Amino acid sequence: MSLRFALLALLTSRPMTGYDVSKQFSQSVAHVWHAPDSQIYPELNRMERDGLLESAVVPWGKKGTKKEYAVTEAGVKAFREWMDAPIEIRRQREPAYLKAAYLEWAEPGAARAELKQFRDHWTEHLAMLEATRATLVDRSHPTLARRLEHYDASEWDRIVRYKIFAYDGLIDQARAAITWAERGLLLVDELEGSAAD
């Protein structure tokens, strides 16, 4: 159900085609709620069917057309209602931590490789989050810039700071994951005897 609201969140910045949505999505909302385009297109259709979006067919080149979606009043209302409703608490589902708890079953080499892979993934992810955070701070983030156009300048700080707050939380998570993986690598060295590799 959150996909629907992630899409509404994005579309409140400006009307977009499905293709725009799927491109912009991966650079913003997906940091917090990932979805592939095979989920995005059908969901946009369903949202239109449910009256949350309306679409206009726009010509594209000589023969091509594209469909631009805009949030309706009902869509804004649904989004506000979701924002005011209690959040769903996600259940724990962490394959990395599951494996960590049973690391005595792994080959030491495989244990090290997994922890490194995990650390590297989060290191990369952290860099991306920090880069995105920087574009929020200086307001160069394209979706944010378009969003601020609808508001009075006196509101800008408030809007931007909530987005930075969300990214700060994600950055903390990423840092914690990296620290944890590094502690894990030291632990494997200690328990399995350190091996060069």
Residues that bind DNA (CB under 7 A): 1-3, 17-20, 23, 34-39, 41-42, 44-45, 60-67, 91, 93
The smaller minimum CB distance to DNA, of residues 23 and 161, is found at 23
**Is there a contact between 156 and 167 (Cβ–Cβ < 8 Å)?**
no
Q: How many residues contact a copy of itself, by CB under 8 A?
A: 67
* Contact with a copy of itself (CB under 8 A) among 54, 99, 126, 137: 99
Q: How many residues does the chain have?
A: 197
* Contact with a copy of itself (CB under 8 A) among 19, 26, 41, 180: 180
Q: Is 30 in the site for a copy of itself (CB under 8 A)?
A: yes
Partner that binds at residue 152, options DNA, a copy of itself, none, CB closer than 5 to 8 Å by kind:
none
The smaller minimum CB distance to DNA, of residues 68 and 192, is found at 68
Give exposure, 29-67, as e/b (b: 16+ Cβ within 10 Å): bbbeeebeeeebeebbeebbeeebbbbeeeeeeeeeeeb
Nearest to 40, CA basis, from 19, 58, 54, 55: 19
Q: Is 25 helix (H, G, I), strand (E, B) or coil?
A: helix
The smaller minimum CB distance to a copy of itself, of residues 67 and 116, is found at 116
Instruction: Measure the CA angle with vertex 97, ends 93 and 103; round to 5°.
Output: 140
Quick one: tokens of 35? 């979805």
* Contact with a copy of itself (CB under 8 A) among 40, 43, 100, 112: 100
Q: Is 176 in the site for a copy of itself (CB under 8 A)?
A: yes
* Contact with a copy of itself (CB under 8 A) among 105, 138, 154, 196: 105
The smaller minimum CB distance to a copy of itself, of residues 43 and 114, is found at 114
HEC letters along 150-174: CCCHHHHHHHHHHHHHHHHHHHHHH
